[in-house]
Amino acid sequence: MNWTTDSIPDQAGRLALITGANSGLGLETARALLAKGATVVLGCRSLPRAELAKDELQAAAASGGGAVELLELDLASLACVRRAAAEFADRYGRLDLLINNAGLMALPRQLTPDGFEMQLGVNHLGHFALTLALLPLLSDRPNARVVSVTSGAQYFGRIAFDDLQGERRYDRWAAYGQSKLANVMFALELQQRLRDQGQAVLSLAAHPGFARTNLQLASVAANGSWFEPLAYRLMGPLLQSAAMGALPQLFAATAPEATPGGHYGPNQFGGMRGWPTEVRIAPAALDADQRQRLWQRSEELTALGLA
């Protein structure tokens, strides 16, 4: 039997923080959790857009008994990440689900306020810093989970340790693949470190397959490409909805059968679309030495550590 949003267990009393929740996968994930009774905090860079999403989600919140709230969170800025984490801790003092969903795709080279290549800074380092700052709120919660959302780009990704920020050579798709591979490596290494510390928090990863979201539009707009819009139109029949694309991360976040360090994605057409299932991890992410090296470098860059 296929796993759908109807399969999600009751989430009443649980508190979830979803990054990038004002559109696409994050919005659909919030909608599903609200319908099952969770309180969902939308962690978004733009509060006006978050307000629009909140208005749209009120019906799901009302019908499911959950509640939707907002948190200003710009993952490109470590100062903002730390401020948001502190605000979240002061406001709630607990957390059950952290879904690291926000992301950028295939942008021309830009730098974050902290001087990081933008895709690595937002997709990996911002979430790395946020997760470590919020772990104390998760540590004593039953069935607490951290879900890192990656993509199929992990399979061609490579961590360029000698040029992480693309200063000597920059390819926007290679930078995206690096950041998505980093998401999986982080999820696996976090699970290992939590296990070593005897913590029950689960760390998992998920990818949406080929889903229709704002990522494609943002990438096209940023690059001014004539070819990419044509390619996306030609591939249109393969694209699945954002609601379907959100199912793997919802499975990772809620399914009782999801396993520590598990990685979930669609089950059809080589992981491009379909229902959630356990899927293969990029071979590069299975190298424990490389994962530890990335973790150490990420600690150095974000000046945060796992206590």
At what angle are helices 47-64 and 24-35 packed, to 10 degrees? 30
Going by C-alpha positions, the residue among 241, 249, 238, 233 that lies closest to residue 272 is: 238
Phi and psi at residue 158, in whole multiples of 5°? -145, 135
Annotated active-site residue in 92, 155, 170, 176: 176
Give catalytic status of residue 264 as yes or no.
Answer: no
Ranges of H-type helices in the chain: 24-35, 47-64, 78-92, 118-119, 127-138, 172-196, 214-223, 227-234, 242-245, 247-254, 288-302
> Angle at the Cα of 105 (from 170 to 304), degrees rounded to 5?
80
Q: Are 42 and 31 in contact (CB under 8 A)?
A: no
State how far the Cα of 218 lies from the Cα of 189, in Å rounded to an integer: 30
How far does the chain reach from its first CA to its final CA, in angstroms?
Answer: 41
* Sequence-distant (≥ 6) Cβ neighbours of residue 257 within 8 angstroms: none
Q: In Å, what is the CA distance from 90 to each residue of 51, 85, 86, 87?
A: 21, 9, 6, 5
Residue type, 253: A
State how far the Cα of 182 lies from the Cα of 242, in Å rounded to an integer: 23
* Sequence-distant (≥ 6) Cβ neighbours of residue 147 within 8 angstroms: 97, 98, 99, 100, 101, 187, 204, 205, 206, 249, 252, 253
Which residues are part of the catalytic machinery? 176
